[in-house]
């Protein structure tokens, strides 16, 4: 908490928000290149050590990202405190013989010398290659696909993945994801974990530390930046980031464990928590390939958005943290208390919920896909306990959303989720005895909770108590979804271990859902 106390001594709430608005205005300015800027020397070393990424594809383009950091774990990434002009180019071939778009952008120190170039003028539904150049040095080459046009009947393939605890295991799954033939990667969150570093070999909750976080728990902007840099240095994550376009959201560990709305996971609130959120959101933005619409305003951020992929898929990216009520019953997994039944419970918040209902109603698509963080399907343990941090802790919000979507004609609902470090396939009902209104595919973690096991203790009893759950696996891994005009296919891929290099990837289950029917069938 020392860094928080330092920040509290320096900032007031008004100063925080005024400063954030000023930085947002500065970042919105176009590149301004002067002879003075061009002449300033840069530190030696490769400025592109954190790699490249692309995100949020449209039919005519996508975002390309990098951050200049020749010494990534040093303060400010080893960069001087002045803006740096960087060239970028997008080509139709990996040799960059056929340039489709090119330009220059200004990497500003206020945003950790990160770049978010919103490329336009490209052709729909085709692959492109991109790179950045600075003082004769080139970044790694990235690859991304533009989205199909609104009228195209193209198939759509994506990966769902997240929960990558650096200390719990290697990111081998990302190396396998880099080799997948997909149009998009949906990263549902927990890109970093905020916890203090532990020595290699230290055991906590039965898990051994495979590699250590740099530094203590993250509170300040500098600490969050260092943590993101450490994760971005991982070669397997870098390979996946360069191989595919990403659509990223955040869950809790980008800020603090199980935070909701204005309350931190350990009860932080008020200015103390606003400062932490402001630092966390700025660092998240600085390290993600997102558009300027996600630029944070101090402790507030608008991260929900929709991406369209032809006639068949409307992908609604949601934020289930920022406007959510505090967890009922004191959080945890336990039998529900009276607070769980409150009729006005909020997960998305009124504004985002209204946006989603309107978005799904006004964008006809074969599949309406809710890409979010925590499981929406009901999961009641044999002793009657439920997870208060999941949609189970907010049944009125779940019912209101599902009925609202259904009443607006949003059919073929598919929910994507993660968070629980296990893979699930299930159907989702608005009420316990009601009909299924959606199907859900929950991806396991990339590395969180270590090697895992095929099943958790008590899995058989859990499945018996929840017949709408068709599949569970407790290995690390990811999920693949393939959408056509008639079917949604889901494949769960698992790694037998993450505690040492070289794990193969193995399929554990495959399901198919027909358009017009929410039933899960083995495929």
Average pLDDT over residues 138-160: 98
pLDDT band, residue 90 (cuts 50/70/90) = very high
Return the pLDDT at 256: 98
CB-based contact 155:483 (threshold 8 Å):
yes
User: Is the per-residue pLDDT at 513 higher than 80?
Assistant: yes
Q: What is the mean pLDDT of the chain?
A: 93
Q: Could you tell me the CA-to-CA distances from 190 to 165, 233, 278, 288, 372 in Å, in that order?
A: 8, 16, 17, 13, 12
Tens digit of each residue's pLDDT (9 = 90 or more) over 308-351: 999 999 999 999 999 999 999 999 999 999 999 999 999 999 99
Residues 6 or more apart in contact with residue 23 via CB below 8 angstroms? 110, 111
Helix 13-28 and helix 270-286, axial crossing angle in degrees, nearest 10: 20
pLDDT band, residue 266 (cuts 50/70/90) = confident
Return the pLDDT at 42: 86
Tens digit of each residue's pLDDT (9 = 90 or more) over 224-264: 999 999 999 999 999 999 999 999 999 999 999 999 999 99
User: Is the per-residue pLDDT at 424 higher than 70?
Assistant: yes
Give the integer Cα–Cα distance in Å for 171 and 173: 5
Tens digit of each residue's pLDDT (9 = 90 or more) over 377-420: 999 999 999 999 999 999 999 999 999 999 999 999 999 999 99
Return the pLDDT at 40: 66
Return the pLDDT at 43: 87
User: Per mean pLDDT, which range of 77-81, 289-293, 455-459 is the poorest?
Assistant: 455-459
By three-state DSSP, how is residue 330 classified? Answer: helix
Q: Please give the domain boundaries of the chain with CATH numbers for all domains.
A: 43-144 (2.60.40.380), 147-522 (3.60.21.70)
Structure token pair of residue 325:
């009520």
Phi-psi category of residue 113: left, alpha or beta, with phi > 0 → left and psi -120 to 50 → alpha? left
More confident call, 43 vs 222: 222
Average pLDDT over residues 503-520: 97
Average pLDDT over residues 109-120: 98
- Please calculate the CA angle 432-342-390 and round it to the nearest 5 degrees: 60
Tens digit of each residue's pLDDT (9 = 90 or more) over 211-221: 999 999 999 99
Structure token pair of residue 261:
């709305």
Return the pLDDT at 33: 52
Return the pLDDT at 265: 86
User: Is the per-residue pLDDT at 432 higher than 70?
Assistant: yes
- Return the percentage of the chain with pLDDT > 90, whole number: 89
- Return the percentage of the chain with pLDDT > 70, whole number: 92
**Residue 498: closest CA among 163, 172, 202, 235:** 172
As beta bridge partners, residue 96 has none
Give the integer Cα–Cα distance in Å for 48 and 178: 19
CB-based contact 244:159 (threshold 8 Å):
yes
């Amino acid at each position: 908490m020392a860094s928080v106390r330092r920040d509290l001594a320096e900032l007031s709430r008004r100063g925080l928000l005024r400063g954030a608005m000023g930085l947002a205005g500065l970042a919105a300015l176009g590149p301004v290149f002067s002879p003075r800027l061009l002449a300033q020397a840069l530190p030696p070393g490769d400025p592109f050590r954190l790699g490249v990424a692309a995100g949020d594809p449209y039919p005519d383009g996508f975002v390309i990202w990098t951050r200049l950091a020749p010494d990534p774990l040093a303060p400010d990434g080893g960069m001087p405190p002045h803006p740096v002009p960087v060239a970028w180019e997008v080509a139709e071939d990996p040799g960059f013989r056929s340039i489709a778009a090119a330009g220059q952008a200004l990497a500003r120190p206020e945003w950790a010398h990160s770049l978010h170039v919103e490329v336009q003028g490209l052709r729909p539904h085709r692959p492109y290659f991109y790179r950045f150049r600075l003082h004769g040095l080139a970044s790694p080459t990235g690859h991304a696909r533009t989205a199909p046009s609104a009228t195209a009947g193209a198939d759509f393939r994506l990966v769902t993945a997240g929960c990558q605890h650096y200390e719990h295991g290697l990111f081998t799954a990302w190396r396998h994801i880099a080799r997948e033939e997909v149009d998009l990667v949906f990263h549902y969150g927990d890109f970093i974990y905020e916890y203090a570093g532990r020595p290699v070999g230290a055991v906590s909750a039965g898990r051994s530390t495979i590699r250590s976080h740099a530094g203590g728990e993250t509170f300040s902007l500098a600490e969050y930046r260092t943590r993101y840099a450490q994760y971005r240095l991982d070669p397997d994550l870098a390979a996946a980031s360069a191989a595919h376009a990403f659509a990223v959201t955040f869950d809790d560990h980008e800020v603090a464990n199980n935070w909701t709305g204005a309350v931190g996971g350990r009860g932080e609130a008020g200015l103390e928590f606003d400062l932490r959120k402001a630092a966390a959101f700025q660092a998240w933005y600085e390290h993600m390939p997102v558009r300027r619409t996600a630029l944070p305003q101090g402790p507030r951020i608008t991260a929900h958005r929709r991406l369209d992929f032809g006639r068949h898929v409307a992908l609604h990216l949601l934020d289930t943290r920022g406007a959510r009520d505090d967890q009922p019953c004191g959080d945890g997994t336990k039998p529900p208390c009276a607070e769980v039944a409150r009729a006005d419970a909020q997960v998305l918040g009124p504004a985002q919920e209204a946006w989603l209902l309107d978005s799904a109603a006004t964008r006809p698509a074969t599949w309406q896909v809710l890409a979010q963080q925590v499981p929406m399907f009901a999961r009641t343990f044999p002793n009657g306990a439920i997870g208060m941090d999941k949609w189970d802790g907010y049944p009125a919000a779940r019912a209101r959303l599902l009925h609202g979507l259904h009443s607006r004609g949003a059919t073929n609902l598919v929910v994507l989720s993660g968070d629980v470090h296990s893979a699930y396939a299930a159907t989702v009902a608005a009420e316990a005895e009601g009909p299924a209104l959606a199907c859900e595919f929950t991806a396991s973690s990339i590395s969180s909770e270590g090697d895992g096991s095929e099943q958790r203790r008590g899995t058989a009893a859990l499945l018996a108590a929840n017949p709408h759950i068709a599949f569970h696996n407790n290995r690390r891994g990811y999920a693949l979804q393939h959408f056509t005009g008639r079917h949604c296919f889901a494949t769960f891929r698992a790694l037998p271990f993450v505690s040492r290099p070289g794990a193969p990837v193995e399929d554990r289950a495959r399901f198919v859902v027909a358009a017009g029917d929410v039933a899960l069938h083995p495929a």
